[in-house]
Structure 1
Amino acid sequence: MSDRLPIDRVGSALRVFALRLGPGQELLSSLLAFVEERQLKAPFIITCVGSVTKATLRLANASLENTNEVVCLQERFEIVSLVGTLNTEAHLHICLADKEGRTIGGHVLGDLEVFTTAELVVGEASDLHFTRELDSRTGFPELVIQKRSEQI
């Protein structure tokens, strides 16, 4: 029997955490530290609002052959969306709006320096455990979902 759960059979109780990051804090590393401190096994972002002064993102057209589609931004942005999972290899996508309301988004690589605030609500699927394994079809580490009772 495979450890991977069929997509139609994944369910879990939910725990919710709220936190606020202040000016100068780096959002990704702060979230990963939060997850580690609380030993969360299946954490994910429920919502986030705030602002950043920098961001490093991988753009949508990255592939096995072309992983260098990266943009390093340095200006004030509003966080208009942040979604993803936060296991040891976080998989987050962000959408940022500049002073004219133009948006840019991509896969978070880091360098998300908080400008004024980042107000986050983090959920944890209490009955599940998230890990990542290399998927030969995509060339990227992809989400593996397991029931906690199956964990060693």
Structure 2
Amino acid sequence: MQAHPLRLQPGQDLRDALEDTVRQLGATAAFVVQGIGSLSVARLRFAGIDQPSELRADLEILTLAGSVAPDGAHLHMSVSDADGHVLGGHVARGCIVRTTVEILLALLPDHAFSREADPRTGFMELFIRDWPRGE
């Protein structure tokens, strides 16, 4: 495992930036160990709901975790507003960094992740394969 700290800048889309970073690093598998920071917009899909909800406010990221494959990410996040109310869910595109987001990525060079249709769930799910070093 290789640790890769990352800082996102104001205005960046959180999910796009993570996926782009993993591709630019040439990584075949990564996990977001944790992330903190602030957002001006959070787009979260709540359990059992098909479409994400958009929150527009000064938001603090309390937790951010998930897996990142070259063909996409599966991320969950909890955020709090100025009154301390907390919401969490699946991270959709459109989460915009307000001041900073600090993330620790764990790169897994011995593995390859992909997102593939799983007939049992009906969703694109994580498939994990061994990836011998040097290939």
After TM superposition, the score normalised by the length of structure 1 is 0.83
Q: Alignment partner for residue 122 of structure 1, among 105, 109, 128? A: 105
Q: Which structure 1 residue ranges, 5 or more long, are not aligned?
A: 1-13
Shift of 1:100: 1.1
Q: Which structure 2 residue ranges, 5 or more long, are not aligned?
A: none
Q: Alignment partner for residue 15 of structure 2, among 28, 35, 39? A: 28
* Structure 1: 4+ residue segments shifted above 2 A: none
**CA–CA distance in structure 1, aligned partners of residues 56 and 84 of structure 2:** 16
Q: Alignment partner for residue 132 of structure 1, among 108, 115, 124? A: 115
1:101 alignment partner in structure 2: 84
1:45 alignment partner in structure 2: 32
Instruction: Report the 3-state secondary structure (helix = DSSP H, G, I; strand = E; otherwise coil) of the residue aligned with 2:48.
Output: coil
Shift of 1:28: 1.0
**CA–CA distance in structure 1, aligned partners of residues 119 and 58 of structure 2:** 38
Over residues 16-43 of structure 1, what are the superposed CA-to-partner deviations in whole Å (9 max), with x where a residue is unaligned? 1011112111111111111111111111
Greater share of strand: 2
Identity %: 36
Q: Alignment partner for residue 62 of structure 2, among 80, 83, 89? A: 80
Partner amino acid for 1:71? S
1:10 alignment partner in structure 2: none
CA RMSD of aligned residues (A): 1.5
1:16 and 2:28 matched: no
**CA–CA distance in structure 2, aligned partners of residues 125 and 23 of structure 1:** 28
After TM superposition, the score normalised by the length of structure 2 is 0.92
